Amino acid sequence: MLPPNVYDAEPIPVAARAEIERLLSSGDLFRYTAPANAPVTLLEQDFAALLGVRYALAVSSCSAALFLSLKALDLPRGARVVIPAFTFAAVPSAIVHADCTPVLCETGANYRIDLDHFRQILDSGVEAVMISHMRGHTSDMDAILAEAAARGLPVIEDAAHSLGTTWRGTPIGTLGDIGCYSFQSYKLLNAGEGGILVSNDANLIARAVIMSGAYEHNWAKHGTDAALEAAFLRWQNALPLYNLRLGNLSAAVIRPQLAELARRVRDGRRNHDHVAQRLNVSPWIDVPEKLALEERAPDSIQFNLIGLNDTDVAAFTEAAAARGIKVQVFGASQDNARAFWNWRFLGEPPDLPQTRAMLMKACYVRLPARLTVAECDLIAEAILRAAQEVMGNLRAFGT
């Protein structure tokens, strides 16, 4: 059996075709052309209902959503915003884009925020908290929300890659003041590009809607509750228009995928947990446990190599590649966008030994929901044998 292809996306549900055909024949591609019920508006309504939040705003990417979240909070220029040091380069970039300053917090071997360092950073003075639930690994949200609330700090959740994950049964991205999700192709809902932000706060969402490009009275197409309307009237003409809107075609691609979400979450979790259980048998591999209050929606697996030095790590990824499985190590390539020392646009990288040590040993392999358990077994087998080959033989010769 050949190793499975873990890169291809799932086909877009056939239900999208009729709507796309209708949009192509009418040319109705802009969200604000129709008087009501544009595909983007319907996507926002469906998404908000699915997550149980009051408001959603669809935009051009999750990065745009993160940028608009910071702008919606009206932070002063240069405001310090704490983020986990284990995240994607787009996150500190969104902060720089909003004229704020990212402050990197240590993350542990379990990929989650180190709460002692987090408290230290909050005490050193920050104006907002932006939590990336990186690859669906949820940091302790009870602790984070409590620490932020005690200091009156707003919390933005970067749930780009965590749609479907819950904390105490509540969807990740709906716990803080604003949550942001991605529709880029490697995330759970695929439109090529796109993003969405959610909030229960009428003032924040009104500011984000206007700045996303709801010029003149287009905000009226975002709903009519009294709190929202009052907020729109407050901010009309007072804010810049950054034009980060989503188009109708993208919305038409995403909407029918919402019905697929539960299946993708269920099968992705099954695949992840199956491979995790197999890998954890190896003395050289550790898949960190999820936190007790978290239910995950993984589409990849992360694991740490135990007792391997940098040469062993390289030999291990080569041995896995020879078996047809591409294992990436976050810190091992020259250009990995999730290694904080590669974010040279921030200047000299801070000294974060714990996160650095984790990134040098943390591997990842995509495990899309469409894989069968048999295909997952092939992946697990290749990883186990690669570790055995590199470490088992070394041990035998070394003793």
Ligand X SMILES: *Cc1c(COP(=O)(O)O)cnc(C)c1O
Chain positions contacting ligand X, by CB under 6 A: 61-63, 87-88, 90-91, 132, 134, 158, 160-161, 182, 184, 195
Is 61 or 248 the residue whose CB approaches ligand X more closely? 61
Inter-residue contact 192 to 184 (CB < 8 Å): yes
Q: Report the alpha-carbon distance of residue 63 to residue 71 in Å, rounded.
A: 12
**According to DSSP H, which parts of the chain are helical?**
15-26, 39-51, 62-72, 90-97, 115-123, 141-150, 202-213, 226-235, 248-254, 261-279, 310-322, 353-361, 373-387, 393-398
Instruction: Give least dist CB 329 to ligand X, A.
Output: 17
Residue 137 CA to residue 312 CA, distance in Å, equals 26
Pick the closer one to ligand X by CB: 255 or 278: 255
CB of 265: closest distance to ligand X in angstroms? 16
Q: Which two tokens stand for residue 232?
A: 């729109």
In angstroms, the CA 389 to CA 325 distance is: 15
Question: Least distance to ligand X from the beta carbon of 358, Å?
Answer: 16
| Residue closest to 91 by CA, chosen among 199, 82, 205 | 82
CB of 361 to ligand X, least distance (A): 20
Classify residue 14 as exposed, middle or buried by CB count within 10 Å of its CB (0-12, 13-18, 19+): exposed
Q: What phi-psi label fits residue 289: left (phi over 0), alpha (psi between -120 and 50 degrees) or beta? A: beta
Q: Which is nearer to ligand X, 134 or 208 (CB)?
A: 134
We find the least distance from the C-beta atom of residue 161 to ligand X, in angstroms, to be: 4
Shortest distance, position 85 Cβ to ligand X, whole Å: 13
How many other CB atoms are there within 10 angstroms of residue 227's CB atom? 15
SS3 state of residue 127: coil
- Which one, 86 or 316, has the nearer CB to ligand X? 86
Minimal distance in Å, beta carbon 140 to ligand X?
A: 17
- Extract the tokens encoding 202: 């009428």
- Tell me the C-alpha distance between 86 and 102, whole Å: 13
**What does DSSP assign to residue 113?**
B
CB of 331 to ligand X, least distance (A): 17
Report the residue number, 73 or 387, with the smaller CB distance to ligand X.
73
